């Protein structure tokens, strides 16, 4: 089984000390706008934009868009003007901040070993900085950004690490691969607890072996301890369980974000290109998700509003692609419609009480069931089609 490792960056792979580094970074960035804009004004706008990113749960907007929507009006710049400042800063000034970080001797040996084992590795850093800044920091750690399966930045992510949906989005962006998953990080509130809520196993990174108590044996320590743990652990014990309410909601909340990340910049020709004969195109896949959301998921949810034990039908959707001529629809419009339909469903799901979550039902295929299990079927359907969509995009 191939292990997927989600690795935090700051103070896990790179000595950063966020309490020191982040204020210096903000002050340096604010000063870079002078004399055109008052650094104090820029500083306030930076903090407001950063806070907006931490609060974001809108799966239709990247964190970059969230940040710019707050930052730009406060400093009187449009996005194009901001981009000029940002590109200059991250190419010329940001590299000078490396002196406020230091490499960890154990980082590169661990990463080299992990790749030698065939592990899938995602750099799961809090995505509040652009790609350029994040890639600099990975290089400061002595690593090559091109090595990794995915790296979260504010350009490609819709949630920060305080959200359980962030972890679902990361796994979605690599296709919801089957097998064991381990989240590794040094921050209890942003690395460990949200990942656990999704159903992932975790490893808490410490500066020294055994400096933290309260974790299961072997699941905390240095990167050297992490290697020892991975060499001895039964990988089947790291296979996630996505059965909890929080996990189900996070998966459903993340899917529009994942599809937005996959598809928003897809060329018109690529939307309709078949990866292999007889398989769906990206347009057909997103149309299927849109119509399933509108006509099946939302219908099934409404049946639970009735008293008693509702019967949950499951219509056959396999003929829709040909019957409805999905191939000739506009894929980007279908994506937007799917996002809006999912937004409506999430409003419904987030309002369901614990009693409602445990309501009994009879399913046309699965027999006796509960509301929670039906919602779980929605999440499994999402994961299946995210996996298929990534396969389509890799082969067109």
Predicted pLDDT of residue 119: 98
Q: Inform me whether the pLDDT recorded for 216 exceeds 70.
A: no
Cβ neighbours around 309 below 10 Å, total: 13
The proportion of the chain whose per-residue pLDDT surpasses 70, expressed as a percent, equals 97
Per-residue pLDDT band at 349 (split at 50, 70, 90): very high
CATH class for the region spanning 4-11+103-238:
alpha beta
Q: Inform me whether the pLDDT recorded for 180 exceeds 60.
A: yes
pLDDT in tens, 297-321: 999 999 998 878 999 998 889 899 9
**Residue closest to 103 by CA, chosen among 223, 212, 229, 188:** 223
Predicted pLDDT of residue 320: 95
Predicted pLDDT of residue 217: 56
State the chain's mean pLDDT as an integer: 94
Q: Inform me whether the pLDDT recorded for 37 exceeds 70.
A: yes
Predicted pLDDT of residue 57: 94
Find out if CATH 1.20.120.450 is the number for domain 245-394.
yes
Q: Which residues pair with 183 in a beta bridge?
A: 6, 202
Q: What is the mean pLDDT of residues 39-48?
A: 95
Q: Please say whether the beta carbons of 239 and 3 come within 8 A.
A: no
> Taking the complete model, does pTM exceed 0.85, yes or no?
yes
Q: Inform me whether the pLDDT recorded for 134 exceeds 70.
A: yes
Predicted pLDDT of residue 215: 60
**Contacting residues for 42 by C-beta, under 8 A, at least 6 apart:** 29, 30, 33, 75
Check residues 19 and 368 and name the one with the higher pLDDT: 368
Q: Inform me whether the pLDDT recorded for 213 exceeds 90.
A: no
């Amino acid at each position: 089984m191939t292990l997927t490792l989600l690795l935090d960056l700051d103070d896990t792979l790179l000595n950063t000390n966020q309490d020191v580094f982040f204020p210096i970074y903000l002050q340096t960035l604010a000063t870079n706008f002078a004399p055109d804009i008052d650094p104090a004004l820029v500083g306030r706008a930076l903090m407001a934009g950063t806070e907006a990113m931490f609060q974001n749960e809108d799966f239709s907007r990247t964190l970059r868009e969230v940040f710019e929507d707050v930052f730009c009006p406060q400093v009187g710049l449009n996005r194009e003007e901001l981009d000029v400042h940002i590109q200059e800063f991250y190419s010329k000034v940001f590299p000078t901040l490396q002196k406020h970080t230091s490499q960890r001797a154990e980082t590169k040996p661990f990463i080299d070993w992990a790749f030698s084992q065939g592990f899938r590795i995602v750099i799961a850093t809090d995505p509040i900085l652009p790609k350029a800044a994040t890639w600099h920091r990975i290089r400061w750690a002595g690593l090559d950004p091109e090595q990794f399966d995915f790296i979260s930045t504010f350009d490609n992510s819709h949630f920060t690490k305080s959200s359980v949906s962030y972890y679902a989005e990361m796994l979605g962006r690599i296709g919801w691969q089957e097998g064991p998953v381990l989240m590794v990080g040094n921050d209890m509130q942003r690395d460990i607890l949200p990942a656990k809520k999704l159903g992932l196993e975790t490893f808490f990174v410490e500066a020294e072996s055994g400096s933290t108590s309260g974790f299961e044996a072997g699941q905390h320590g240095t990167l050297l301890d992490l290697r020892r743990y991975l060499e001895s652990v039964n990988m089947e014990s790291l296979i996630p369980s996505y059965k909890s309410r929080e996990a189900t909601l996070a998966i459903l909340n993340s899917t529009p974000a994942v599809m937005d990340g996959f598809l928003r910049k897809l060329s018109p020709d690529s939307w309709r290109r078949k990866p292999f004969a007889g398989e769906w195109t990206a347009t057909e896949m997103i149309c299927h998700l849109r119509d399933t959301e509108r006509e099946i998921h939302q219908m099934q949810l409404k049946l639970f509003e009735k008293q008693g034990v509702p019967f949950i039908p499951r219509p056959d959707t396999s003929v829709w692609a040909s019957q409805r001529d999905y191939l000739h629809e506009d894929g980007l419009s279908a994506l937007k419609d799917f996002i809006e339909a999912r937004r409506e469903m999430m409003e419904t799901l987030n309002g369901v009480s614990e009693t409602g979550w445990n309501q009994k039902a009879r399913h046309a295929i699965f027999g006796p069931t509960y509301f929670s299990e039906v919602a779980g079927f929605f999440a499994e359907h999402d994961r299946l089609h995210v996996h298929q969509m990534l396969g389509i995009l890799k082969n067109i």
